[in-house]
Every structure is written in structure tokens, then in C-alpha cells.
Structure 1
């Protein structure tokens, strides 16, 4: 275990990334707990206002992300400075992504249905960082053979092809598939080949004159929603502290 820890975390300089991830998750959990207490009117916590303006925690989050980001750039991947910058950045990222929906919609939708976008953003970020810690590299660059690494043209072609798969999945409205496909090309390939979501740019541009394909896309989207909407919402409710009113 100690050998694995050294090879995969400390030796390659991944300790700051691990510290940032811990700080990110802890901040999200603590922030959600405090906001739930404020909403319920329990405990000593209250919303912060200045001059009648509600100061959302995305504001200090942006400040901390800025400090941590520049601190990380100015430091190496080892030492106390790198670790401190990583923790500060992780705390800031946790505060910002906890209000991702507010930034996306430019509206205070924290406890509404649209507010679940924040939980989704946190889960996706956590998953991606975890894959980075596990040794995965974007577009499977780490899977290139020694010959491919020496042949720059082959390496570039591999990255470009994988990127096109990701882009196709994204245009087809498969955001989660595209994000995972950045690290696992096979996933992006599946997303690129399957039918687009009916509300996607791909469907809007290409399915207009293909009513049968558009109908199949709508049926598939409806089946997917019926199968996964309930479990997904329950998971989001559990992570985000949403309650029915």
C-alpha cells in the first residue's frame, strides 16, 4: 500500500491534487450542511448581506480559486506552498460549484429543480479528478505505445480523433458521455454513434427532415428519462439536501 501511495500520489507530484480534491469535497459537504441549517432556521448560521445585497458563497469561492490558482502556478508540485495553494483552490472550487446553477442561470435557483445542476457539476468534477488521480490522462494519451510517443504525427492524430468523438457526443447533447469520453475514448465513440438527444444541436440541424429518426430519438430520450430520472433525482436530493415542499 505504501509503495502504491508513493508511486501514484507522492512521487509523481499528485499530492497537491489529492489535497485539492479532499478540500473540494469537504467544502461542498460543509457548505450544504450550513445552507440546510440556514434554510431550516436552525443553528447560529445566517445569510451574509452587505447594503441589502445577499453575498452568495460563490463570491468568496471565486476569490479563493484566484488565490489558489495563482499560488499553484507560482509554486512547484512539491512542498508546503504547493499543498497550501491546492487546499485554497479546492475550497474555492467547492464554494463556486456549489452555486454552479446560480452562475449558469444568473438566478438564485439554489433550492429549485434547476439547482440540481450544481450537484451534477460537483459529481462530474469529483469523478474527473478521481480519474486523474488514478492515472488516466485526457484523450488516453497515457495509453500510447513507445513508438507512438516517438512519432508525433501518430500521437497528434490519436488525440484529434478522440477529440472529434468527444465533440460529436457533446453536439448530440450527451454532456456526461462527452466528459467521461475525454478520459475514456470508447465511451465518447459510443456517444458519437448513438442517436442524438431531441433537444440537441445535432437533432435540430439534422433531424428536421428525418421525422422517423427524430421520433426514434424522442422515444429513446423518454425511455431514458423514465428509467433514470427517479434514481438520479434521489441521488441528487441526497447529496444536495433537497426536500419536498
Structure 2
């Protein structure tokens, strides 16, 4: 049985959360490689694409899945896999290697689902559109949170009802409040990651809000100078910089919806 001693420092071994992290990362990378391959093939010259389809219709491994004329997105398989693993975990309460396998399987399902986060957020096929970049943010949040959990972070500590327990509860609530401020300022990734890494949330909460956020619309309406600063900081150059990073990781967005 693989165990983790939180006091062992560098002697920590692989645990279910780490299997989850690795599964999410590997599945996301593999999924993006496949979808980019399918997209590249579908955007070739019509004559070339038609010839390839005719010659490889029965041999092409990486292709869109269509059943009865309906395109089946890979998030469907992710949701089904997570549902199966969830039921199995409740019914069997596995330990040791079995738990690691279930954790990895859940990570595969989670990655497949979050890779199409933008689709179930917008209820539209925006995978390769500008809005599709939200899926990259969702995957990043999942990796950041599970990555921190590998280090053995605990939200609540101490015996229930003790002063240490109440202190940790208060600390958690303060951290959540700070993360909410980040989200109100339009910094959703910072807010989510900040739940686990509080200094990130504090920095995000103290700095300017994004100009289109709830915070800016309510609190900067009478402060034109601050709104101007926000627009300058989070302008086109800012968005272009982060979009280049997202596109480098997951493929170019903003050039189609399929």
C-alpha cells in the first residue's frame, strides 16, 4: 500500500491526488494533440481533404465521433467516466493501488470534461473560438489546485471545537472572502487558485479590477481615473499576451467554432 507521510518532506510518495494530477495533465496534453490533429486535417484544401477522407475513412484513428448524425464531444465520455468512478468509489471504498487507479481514472474524466468547459458554460460549440480559451483556464485551475493538494495542504486542522480548529475555520473564511473579491474584480483564475494559495488571492484583491468586472462597474463608475488605469492595464496588449500563452499550450483560438 502506498502511503504519504506529511512530515517526511522529500520522502513523500505518490498518493491518489498525485495520480489525479498526472492523469489530468497527461489527458489534457493528449486530448489537445488529437483535437489539433483533427482540426489541421479538416482545414486542408477541399480536394485534399476529400481524398484523405475517402482513403482513410476506415483506418483513421483520430477523427470526430458521430452517432446518428450527432457529433459526440469528448466531454460526454469524461462525464460518464467520472460518474462511473464516483459510484465505484462510494460502493467499494478502495484503498492502496485500487484507490490510485480510481483516482487516475477520475482525472482522465475530469480532463476530458474541463477541456470543453467553455462548451458547457456557453451551451455552444465554441471550442476553437475566442471563448474556447476559458477551457484552458479551467484546466489550469484544476492542475493548480491538485498540485497544491499534493503537498498535503489542509483546510481545517485541530480537534473539532478546539481553539485551533476555530482559528483554522476563521482563516479559511477570510481566505474565501479574499478570493471572492478577486472574482468580483474579474480575476476568476486568481480567485480559484487563491483559495489554495492565499498570497496570490491577496495580491489579486489589492490590485485594480478588470474594467468589465462587477467591481469596476460598481466602484469605478464615479472614479474615471481609476477606470482609465484599469483599461490601460487590462487592455488589448494584456489580453493578447495571455492569449498567446493559452494558444501556445492548446492551439490557436479565435478562428472557428468547431
TM-score scaled by length of structure 1: 0.81
| Residue of structure 2 equivalent to 1:200 | 213
| Residue of structure 1 equivalent to 2:142 | 125
Distance in 1 of aligned mates of 2:162 and 2:38 = 54
Q: 1:73 to 1:15 in 2, by over 3 A?
A: farther
Which residue of 105, 109, 125 maps to 2:122?
105
Q: Does 1:45 align with 2:45?
A: no
- Of residues 102-111 and 57-66 in structure 1, the stretch that sits farther from structure 2 once superposed is 102-111
Distance in 2 of aligned mates of 1:118 and 1:178 = 16
Distance in 1 of aligned mates of 2:24 and 2:37 = 20
Q: Does 1:234 align with 2:244?
A: yes
Task: Report deviation, 1:191.
Answer: 1.9
Secondary structure of the structure 2 residue equivalent to 1:182: helix
| Residue of structure 2 equivalent to 1:84 | 101
Q: 1:158 to 1:90 in 2, by over 3 A?
A: same
Structure with the largest fraction of helix: 1
Task: Report deviation, 1:14.
Answer: 6.2
Structure 2 segments unaligned to the other structure (5+ residues): 42-51, 53-59
Cα-Cα RMSD: 3.0
Deviations 1:84-117 (A, max 9, x none): 2212211111111111111111111112222222
| Residue of structure 2 equivalent to 1:7 | 5
Q: Does 1:31 align with 2:31?
A: yes
Kindly indicate whether the alpha-carbon contact (under 8 Å) linking 1:64 and 1:88 is maintained by their aligned counterparts in 2.
yes
| Residue of structure 2 equivalent to 1:57 | 74
Counterpart mapping for 1:184-199 below 5 A = 184-199=197-212
Kindly indicate whether the alpha-carbon contact (under 8 Å) linking 2:136 and 2:250 is maintained by their aligned counterparts in 1.
yes
Distance in 1 of aligned mates of 2:246 and 2:7 = 30
Task: Report deviation, 1:83.
Answer: 1.9
Q: 1:65 to 1:233 in 2, by over 3 A?
A: same
| Residue of structure 2 equivalent to 1:136 | 153
Task: Report deviation, 1:130.
Answer: 0.8
Kindly indicate whether the alpha-carbon contact (under 8 Å) linking 1:58 and 1:96 is maintained by their aligned counterparts in 2.
yes
Deviations 1:2-50 (A, max 9, x none): xxx8535999996111112222222112222222222233743221111
Matched length: 233
